[in-house]
Amino acid sequence: MKRDLLTVQDLSSKEITFLLKRAIELKSGKDINKCPLIGKSIGLLFEKASTRTRVSFEVGIYQLGGKSLYMNPKEIQIGRGETIHDTAKVLSRYLNAVVIRTYSHNILTEFASHASIPVINGLSDLHHPCQALADLMTVLERKHRLAGIRFAYIGDGNNVANSLIEAASITGINLVIACPKGYEPDPHVFEKATAGAKSDITIVRDPKEAVYKADVVYTDVWVSMGQEKDAAKKKQRFKKYQINSKLLSDAKKDVIVLHCMPAHRGEEITDEVIDGPKSLVFDQAENRLHTQKALLEFLLT
């Protein structure tokens, strides 16, 4: 039976542990000549611009012996009104899996319901599970554990925050999210994830409270793609949520700083921090490649 990855909660605790272990093995060079995707073709259907997601998937598919096919909706018939139902049915006859990067999460769920091949969420307005897997790997590499880690997320309660909530609830990370009122993570995601959480997941207003004694401090852009209309208002509301050296002084001395990128330097994070010794931002970006290779291997072999 085919498996999809639309949200982090599509994976069990044991499966996340397995994927992270496998990603670390792949990063180390183990099975470097193994090509489990040889003869397989993976579609990349992207409505949104991308650097890390597109490049890491294309390179990962190639390294695993497969073939990637990039599809812009404007260049295929779905951009001219063909239904998601028909597109999913047809692509299922050609491809072995499809990665979709889109605006509405409903497009993903509808596509997956009609596709007979695995569907992977490369990003939607509600979830970013592939990013969360890379985040977990980065923390595990440096801290050697996930359960009990104090993890502070500072900023907009967006798709990244939603996926981090799910990841924390499954792995035992104690997550504190600091955001202004009105910019909280999706309430349905929060309620569902925290109902069975193995850890404490809370929302606060004061970033200093969230960062206090934190092992990990994470941020994302204040204005996500598609939300540019409210950019000026959001930037004003988020001014005190910048990750800078002063804020980090309240965290643990060995704190690590994460950012899913692209970064708007000087807004949500300063140059001094993102380029500083506590930053693992570029390790985190690299780990997209390794976790996605592990995921593709898991779903397709």
35 annotated active-site = no
Choice among 131, 242, 284, 292 that is catalytic: 131
Using alpha carbons, list the distances in angstroms from residue 225 to 81, 158, 230.
23, 11, 11
- Classify 273 as helix, strand or coil: helix
DSSP secondary structure of 161-190: HHHHHHHHHHHT-EEEEE--TT-PPPHHHH
Instruction: State yes or no: is 264 an active-site residue.
Output: no
Say if residues 175 and 199 touch (Cβ distance below 8 Å). yes
* Active-site residue, selected from the candidate residues 52, 101, 150, 259: 101
- CA–chain centroid gap for 299, Å, is 17
Taking the C-alpha atoms of residue 93 and residue 115, their distance in angstroms, rounded to an integer, is: 9
**Other CB atoms within 10 Å distance of the CB of residue 121:** 27
131 is catalytic: yes
For residue 207, cis peptide bond before it (omega within 30 degrees of 0): no
Distance from C-alpha of 129 to C-alpha of 133, rounded to nearest angstrom = 6
Selecting among 220, 259, 284, 292, the annotated active-site residue is 220
Measured torsion, CA atoms of residues 212, 213, 218, 223, in degrees rounded to the nearest 10: 0
Angle between helices 187-195 and 159-171 in degrees, nearest 10:
0
Beta strand 150-154 with 216-219: parallel, antiparallel or unpaired? parallel
Establish whether 150 is a catalytic residue.
no
Residue 260 is among the residues annotated as catalytic for this protein: yes
**Annotated active-site residue in 9, 150, 186, 260:** 260
Catalytic residue among 52, 127, 150, 288: 288
288 a catalytic residue: yes
Q: Which of 128, 150, 259, 290 is catalytic?
A: 128
* In contact, 36 and 97? CB cutoff 8 Å: no
Instruction: Give the residue numbers annotated as catalytic, written as ranges.
Output: 101, 128, 131, 220, 260, 288
